[in-house]
Structure 1
């Protein structure tokens, strides 16, 4: 039984570890610990049963964002319904197992990027799979779920909505919104590798992918997207609507990305060393 469910993929964090431990900062406390102890909660992916009213609200929100979205997303809506209606151990592991499935698809593509190889993205199926993988890594986090709860809470203060579970709706929308982000990456995103040969490592956090050109939590279709994803302490991935050649970053740019990543984090900041977290 997978009781401890991670909202940041442990395999992703491995490049920041030494002897299977990672340096972390949380609530101004700096410590060195196992990946099993960070960015996880008991049964984080368990989805409570969606009522017919809640499912109707979710469909209505999706329809307002993009009227063509629901037919395209039916399979993922079906996954959510099955996850919410399942019982016992199956309910506890349903979405956790789905995330593991997507991680296994993304893993070899991420390994290629470690080597500086983007050729695999020239194959449309690989590009689509990796784009959805990235979308899910963005939206699966605790921060995104909490942000959606905060955004939607004012909409459900009326007495007629007292049976609506905002946490359940936010969980479902976080899962479904990976499709929107993945579709943008696949259709309009350009991939740029940022090499870090400085003496300052890329940091990462419990919100490892962030958009510094747009506030994703505001929803809608952004005019501009630019995602940054540190994939190792010495390599970052930029995904932009612009075509930007791969490049070596300056210390100033590394510091900029690190500072932005810290500001976008929820609880955890991760590093290869203690000093960079002070």
Structure 2
């Protein structure tokens, strides 16, 4: 008889939309960080477990045939192999949904079955992100130590690019930005209905977007400049609840989606190291020494694209940037 562990029945209610372990590189004690709170943008010093987290953020919702049709239509715009990969992931969720429906029809109450289904709804997407996180732990540690050779193997690079893209699309900031822009643009009943449908199955669509973006960044790796930015200045890099941001210099309209060539994706890894995928040739490949002006520019852009939290290694490192928090999303809401 198959024995089911208690751990497998545990439902993760509080979902991090930024990896908690990632933020520890800003922690003086490997547990707590300085971050801005939602109320009055005050600075708190607390566990990384309490930053960039929301109850049931990734919770799997019921997919109707209309939801499934919309997801498939989006996916069909992808290359054939990627579309098939999307559909493979989708089929897993559809199968579990069908099994749940069969169980409900029996009218038999089973506590273990109910716990399994609740855990599946709560943990389904979170577990996918956990896989990506485990795959890049050694890579991130190497990059934090200024070692770019950890990306020499194409498999490691592929895993890192998949992880990298998911750090863009999995966040609350990305969700709110996309859905708010979609609703603002909607003028017909059909467009408004599409926006509503998108919101209802965002838990899956956001992951699918990350898969597509990661594939694209990986395939373009020989054309784009990937560089490691080393910060030896007196001003540390900060991060936020949107840890990867587009810092393309000529991008002045923050509401209009950027063109493909208008993407310089910046990812702070620690107070002294950041990774950048730039299409503008702003920096060459390899290690680059960051200037104090560049650090200031990056910290401001990180703060502007944050939802609530900017995260730093000290209260002093956050103070100059509090006034910029959320400017990007506010501009979309008021446009």
| TM-score, scaled relative to structure 1 | 0.89
Cα drift, residue 162 of structure 1: 8.9
Picking from 165, 171, 182, the partner of 2:203 is: 171
- 2:76 alignment partner, SS class: helix
Picking from 240, 249, 259, the partner of 1:205 is: 240
Higher Cα Rg: structure 1 or 2? Answer: 2
2:264·2:277 contact (CA, 8 Å) conserved in 1?
yes
Q: Does 1:4 align with 2:14?
A: yes
1:160 and 1:270 map into 2 onto residues whose CA distance is: 35
Q: 1:216 to 1:104 in 2, by over 3 A?
A: farther
Picking from 162, 171, 180, the partner of 1:132 is: 162
Cα drift, residue 89 of structure 1: 2.0
- 1:246 alignment partner, SS class: strand
2:55 and 2:201 map into 1 onto residues whose CA distance is: 19
- 2:213 alignment partner, SS class: helix
Could you report, residue by residue, the CA deviation over 1:180-236 in whole angstroms, capped at 9, with x for unpaired residues?
221222121332011100110000000001112368986696133211000000001
Picking from 244, 263, 275, the partner of 2:316 is: 275
Picking from 254, 258, 262, the partner of 1:224 is: 262
Of stretches 68-77 and 19-28 in structure 1, the one that deviates more from structure 2 is 68-77
Cα drift, residue 125 of structure 1: 1.2
Partner residue, 2:272: 234
* Matched residue count: 277
Picking from 5, 8, 33, the partner of 1:22 is: 33
Q: 1:220 to 1:60 in 2, by over 3 A?
A: farther
2:179·2:195 contact (CA, 8 Å) conserved in 1?
no
1:201·1:234 contact (CA, 8 Å) conserved in 2?
yes
Picking from 191, 198, 209, the partner of 2:226 is: 191
1:156·1:162 contact (CA, 8 Å) conserved in 2?
no
Cα drift, residue 156 of structure 1: 7.5
Cα drift, residue 276 of structure 1: 2.1
